[in-house]
Structure 1
Amino acid sequence: MAASPTLEWERELAAQGYKFVAGCDEVGRGSLAGPVSVGVVIIDAATATELPGVKDSKLLRVPVRQALVPAIIDWAAASAVGHSTPAEIDAFGLVAALRLAGSRALAQAAATLIPDFVILDGNQDWLSEPEVDLFTAAMAGGAAEPAPWAIQTRIKADLTCLSVAAASVLAKVERDAMMTELSGAFPVFGWDSNMGYGTAAHRAAIVEHGPTDHHRKSWRLV
């Protein structure tokens, strides 16, 4: 059994002077339908205590995840979930859509508390704005303002960092609720069980009924 995530890394950051640390994780990256969603949980890394029961959302049963949400919200100094729609994924690409969803979540959480540091699960920094050359920046009227927080990727942070695991739970529960609600209008796709992912039954339903506006039409759906 995998060890539960801890606050070890968050406390190391606090010792380096980063008081408010945000854990950030995404869900829905590989789905054929529905949004890509990003959860953010900001904590006071110097004073936060461990939160029992929280793990990477994929390791928790549905009722356990749902029951943890109020505790996570109470535990966090600030939290939010942001989304990018299938249309935005099709228009801008997945990485830009992840950035958009993450920026929305951070903007919402930062309205309560601005983090000093963001821990991003994985090895790809999809949250930072891409660097542009000087000519492009000049044509755009100047370079974009840098984010007021540092960002660091951390592989398997959802398994080891408690703030990131908590963010994954918030994102998963909120996105699953959205897909379950959509399933009521489109029951043939089984979104209340597959959450938009590419199961054989979901792909067969796309072949039979065609894609909806909630599908990522730029993707290979069948």
Structure 2
Amino acid sequence: MSKDATLRFERSFAAGGHRFVAGADEVGRGALAGPVSVGMVVVDTAGLKHLKGVRDSKLLAPAERELLVPRIRAWAAAWAVGHSTAAEIDELGLTAALRLAGTRAWLQVAAVVRPDIVILDGNYNWLSPAQATLFDAGEPGCDAPVHTRIKADLQCLSVAAASVLAKVERDAQMARLALEHPGYGWEVNKGYATEAHRAAILARGASEFHRRSWRLAPAQPPGV
């Protein structure tokens, strides 16, 4: 049985005077269609209680994730999910689009409480701004220290909570888009590269919500 994430790593920053710690994680990086989404959850390390049942969103059933959303929102000091569209991914590239989505989440949480530290899942800091021109209306990006941590979504409660919020919100977006653009199976595959999804792209062509700069469909067999 998978263990719940804990606040041990978040609380380690309190000794350095960092009270508000944000966890961030992305979903949709490898999809063929739909946005890339970044969740961010801020926790107050001063007296914050553990939240049971939260772990990396990939380890939870959809119904479990849905039930956790209101609990996470009530528990967190601030929370947000930012998105970059398929068109933005095509225009900017995936890393810059991730940064844009993360910046959108950062601006939302910073309007409520400004994090002292951000824990980012993985080993590469794609969140800190590189070019101001990538962001909405020239808004600055995350200017807090960013600590990358491999498997943070499994170990750090704030990051696991962020992954749940991002997954639920992005899945809901794909389900809505599936009603407007039936035939691609987005209500099931959520835009990811299943065999049926690639076959549908080959048969129907790409939609405006596909990442057109990506290799979307398999090559046609010879003679077809």
Q: TM-score, normalised by structure 1?
A: 0.92
Q: Which amino acid aligns with 1:96?
A: A
**Alignment partner, residue 29 of structure 2:** 29
Judged with a 3 Å threshold, the aligned counterparts in structure 2 of structure 1 residues 186 and 95 are, in CA distance, closer, same or farther, namely: same
**Alignment partner, residue 43 of structure 1:** 43
**Alignment partner, residue 62 of structure 2:** 62
Following superposition, which runs of at least 4 residues in structure 1 exceed 3 angstroms of deviation?
144-148
**Alignment partner, residue 212 of structure 1:** 207
Correspondent of 2:173 among 174, 178, 183: 178
Judged with a 3 Å threshold, the aligned counterparts in structure 2 of structure 1 residues 211 and 146 are, in CA distance, closer, same or farther, namely: closer
Q: Which amino acid aligns with 2:179?
A: G
Cα displacement string for residues 41-93 of structure 1 (whole angstroms, at most 9, x for unaligned residues): 00101221110001100000001100100000000000000000000000000
Judged with a 3 Å threshold, the aligned counterparts in structure 2 of structure 1 residues 16 and 37 are, in CA distance, closer, same or farther, namely: same
**Alignment partner, residue 135 of structure 2:** none
Q: Which amino acid aligns with 1:217?
A: R
Aligned counterparts of 2:22 and 2:2: Cα–Cα separation in 1: 23
Aligned counterparts of 1:145 and 1:178: Cα–Cα separation in 2: 27
SS in 2 for 1:31: coil
User: Per-residue deviation at 1:130?
Assistant: 2.9
* Contact 2:107–2:141 (8 Å) recurs in 1: no
Aligned counterparts of 1:177 and 1:63: Cα–Cα separation in 2: 12
Q: Which amino acid aligns with 2:83?
A: H
Aligned counterparts of 1:117 and 1:89: Cα–Cα separation in 2: 27
**Alignment partner, residue 101 of structure 1:** 101
Aligned counterparts of 1:48 and 1:23: Cα–Cα separation in 2: 14
Q: TM-score, normalised by structure 2?
A: 0.91
SS in 1 for 2:13: helix
Please provide the CA RMSD for this pair. 1.5
Q: Which amino acid aligns with 1:69?
A: V
Gaps of 5+ in 2: 133-138, 218-224
Correspondent of 2:160 among 149, 160, 165: 165
**Alignment partner, residue 123 of structure 1:** 123
* Contact 2:106–2:141 (8 Å) recurs in 1: no
Aligned counterparts of 1:14 and 1:81: Cα–Cα separation in 2: 25
User: Per-residue deviation at 1:219?
Assistant: 0.3
Aligned counterparts of 1:176 and 1:145: Cα–Cα separation in 2: 28
Q: Which amino acid aligns with 2:107?
A: A
Aligned counterparts of 2:141 and 2:90: Cα–Cα separation in 1: 26
**Alignment partner, residue 145 of structure 2:** 150
Judged with a 3 Å threshold, the aligned counterparts in structure 2 of structure 1 residues 184 and 111 are, in CA distance, closer, same or farther, namely: same
User: Per-residue deviation at 1:149?
Assistant: 1.2
Q: Which amino acid aligns with 1:179?
A: M
SS in 1 for 2:50: coil
SS in 1 for 2:193: coil
**Alignment partner, residue 192 of structure 1:** 187
Judged with a 3 Å threshold, the aligned counterparts in structure 2 of structure 1 residues 147 and 80 are, in CA distance, closer, same or farther, namely: closer
* Contact 1:24–1:118 (8 Å) recurs in 2: yes
Judged with a 3 Å threshold, the aligned counterparts in structure 2 of structure 1 residues 55 and 147 are, in CA distance, closer, same or farther, namely: closer
SS in 2 for 1:82: strand
Find out whether 1:114 has 2:114 as its counterpart. Answer: yes
Judged with a 3 Å threshold, the aligned counterparts in structure 2 of structure 1 residues 131 and 100 are, in CA distance, closer, same or farther, namely: closer
* Contact 1:42–1:77 (8 Å) recurs in 2: yes
